[in-house]
């Protein structure tokens, strides 16, 4: 798996046009978190430094090809005194594969403050993962995420919300120290936020074979954080129906501060004969 600094290092092609690199992968389709993070990098580069991103809303329109670079076209929708808005289209072979709007807010505003509380869970140091019990596709995904320390909290080690059937709690962070630039950590978390989240919808249906893919992705950045320090991803799935599942995640830092919120709808269609939950390259195809 490529280093996150390589993934987020977009090449400027022209004014408001950027190219993201192809990333070697076992997956035939571009990882959704990758294209979302790269789109956010492109948007950030067109906004004045007095504003930082506070939300993004994106749609995965078509599957990207992991073996190809992606071009990002940025539309400067609005530049106001307090807020700025950007529209980003991710293009491969002349086709839009992802569309995103991102909103930026001045860093100097103040107002009332409150936050949800972090769930009581074991510290990440007390959790070990048994990867031998995972499916082939789950192991392939974790192989893609080798630069990330991901620890799923055992379901019997935290209090459950009695009103939600689908819930999952995950500690995660970058294994490597990342640059100090706060914007880099925000774009990195956009990448990380697509990890494990849709799998929360399968928790109530552990033996039900489904085809999985992200359909849309919304994210709000609430407080400063570092993506190379432990973050708790508290996930739930309010609904699954008609081959789609809604999932929601709150991300806390180790001190218990709520730093980001994610909501996503994903495809969880009954798996057809001969299909795989997540398309993985065969040995004949090799790594792209």
Domain coordinates of the chain in residue numbers? 4-107+124-270
Give the number of other CB atoms < 10 A from CB of residue 208.
11
pLDDT for position 27: 76
Which of 198, 229, 195, 228 is closest to 212 using CA atoms? 198
Res 275: pLDDT: 73
Asked whether residue 284 carries a pLDDT value surpassing 50, the answer given is: no
R_g of the chain, CA atoms, integer Å: 19
Q: Of 181, 15, 24, nearest to 7 (Cα)? A: 24
CATH fit for domain 4-107+124-270, picks 1.10.3720.10, 2.30.40.10, 2.40.160.210, 3.10.180.10: 2.40.160.210
- Strand partners for 92: 95
Considering 38, 214, 237, 245, which one is annotated as catalytic? 214
Confidence of residue 286 (pLDDT cuts 50, 70, 90): very low
The helix (H) or strand (E) run that includes residue 169 is strand 166-174
Give the active site residue among 92, 194, 234, 237.
194
Q: How far is the C-alpha of 46 from the C-alpha of 39, rounded, in Å?
A: 12
Name the strand (E) or helix (H) holding 140: helix 136-144
Q: Is 270 exposed, middle or buried (0-12, 13-18, 19+ CB in 10 A)?
A: exposed
Tokens found for residue 44? 């950030």
Residue 107 Cα to chain centre, angstroms: 24
Q: Using CB atoms within 10 A of its CB, is residue 4 exposed (0-12), middle (13-18) or buried (19+)?
A: buried
The answer, yes or no, to whether residue 276 has pLDDT greater than 80, is no
Q: How high is the pLDDT of residue 218?
A: 98
Q: Which two tokens stand for residue 196?
A: 């494990």
| pTM of the complete model | 0.92
- Given a cut of 60, whether residue 55 has pLDDT beyond it is yes
* Lowest model confidence (mean pLDDT) among 35-49, 103-117, 123-137, 181-195: 123-137
Q: Annotated catalytic, 194?
A: yes
> Confidence class of residue 131 from pLDDT cuts 50, 70 and 90?
low
Give me the chain's average pLDDT, please. Answer: 91
Q: Which of 92, 235, 245, 264 is catalytic?
A: 264
- For residue 142, pLDDT over 60 is answered with yes
- Structure token pair of residue 55: 């939300």
Judge whether residue 282 has pLDDT over 60.
no
Q: What is the rounded CA–CA span in Å between residue 49 and residue 150? A: 32
The confidence band for 137, taking pLDDT boundaries of 50, 70 and 90, is: low
Return the structure tokens found at 208: 């039900």
């Amino acid at each position: 798996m490529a280093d996150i600094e390589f993934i987020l290092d977009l090449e400027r092609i022209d004014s408001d046009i950027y190219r993201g690199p192809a990333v070697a992968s076992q997956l035939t389709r571009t990882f959704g978190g990758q294209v979302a993070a790269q789109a956010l990098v492109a948007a950030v580069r067109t906004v004045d430094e007095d504003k930082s991103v506070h939300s993004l809303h994106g749609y995965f329109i078509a599957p990207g090809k992991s073996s190809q670079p992606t071009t990002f076209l940025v539309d400067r929708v609005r530049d106001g005194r307090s807020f700025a808005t950007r529209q980003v289209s991710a293009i491969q072979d002349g086709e839009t594969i992802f569309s995103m709007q991102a909103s930026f807010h001045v860093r100097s505003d103040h107002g009332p403050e409150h936050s949800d509380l972090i769930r009581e869970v074991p510290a990440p140091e007390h959790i070990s993962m048994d990867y031998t019990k995972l499916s082939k596709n789950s192991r392939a995904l974790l192989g893609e995420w080798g630069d990330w320390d991901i620890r799923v909290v055992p379901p019997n080690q935290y209090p459950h919300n009695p009103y939600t059937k689908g819930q999952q709690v995950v500690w995660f962070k970058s294994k490597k120290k990342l640059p100090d630039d706060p914007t880099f950590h925000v774009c990195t978390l956009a990448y990380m936020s697509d990890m494990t989240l849709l799998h929360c919808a399968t928790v109530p249906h552990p033996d039900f074979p489904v085809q999985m893919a992200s359909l849309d992705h919304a994210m709000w950045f609430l407080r400063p954080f570092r993506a190379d320090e432990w973050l708790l991803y508290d996930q739930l799935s309010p609904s699954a129906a008609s081959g789609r599942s809604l999932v929601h995640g709150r991300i806390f830092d180790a001190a218990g501060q709520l730093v980001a919120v994610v909501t996503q709808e994903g495809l969880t269609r009954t798996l057809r004969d001969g299909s795989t939950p997540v398309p993985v390259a065969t040995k004949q195809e090799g790594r792209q």
